[in-house]
Amino acid sequence: MALPSKRREMDMMKLMMSDYKVDTVNDDLHMFYVTFHGPTDSLYEGGVWKIKVELPEAYPYKSLSVGFVNKIYHPNVDESSGAVCLDVINQTWSPMFEYCKRYAKPEDIGAPEEISSDDDDDDILHENP
């Protein structure tokens, strides 16, 4: 399991390599801004928003803080402050990646594991009766 600082660096690297515009504050990985466009085929299409993200020292074990810089109308965003008001972010945060590794594998639902596609599969398909 990655240490909090390593996890923060990995997540930031993925974000910086994405299509989103990311602006760090004083090259600090604890606070940054992300600019993104509203999803296509949604009521938010055509809009551009900027959010402020603050990662605590113990991220991902402690919840991050996210708030909109410009106005957005959404039931999970406080209209006056722009703060995202979801329990999953503010109160019941857990490092989800641990749950995926621990509970979301094929064997956890009783499904057979994926079979890799290699040359042996061709033999089965072309076998004579």
- Chain segment 8-59, per-residue pLDDT in tens: 888 888 988 998 999 988 877 789 999 999 889 988 889 999 999 998 888 8
State the SS3 of the chain.
CCCHHHHHHHHHHHHHCCCCEEEEECCEEEEEEEEEECCCCCCCCCCEEEEEEECCCCCCCCCCEEEECCCCCCCCECCCCCEECCHHHHCCCCCHHHHHHHHCCHHHHCCCCCCCCCHHHHHHHCCCC
Catalytic residues: 85
pTM of the model: 0.65
Average pLDDT over residues 64-82: 87
Answer yes or no: are the C-beta atoms of 35 and 16 closer than 8 Å: no
For residue 44, the cross-strand partners are none
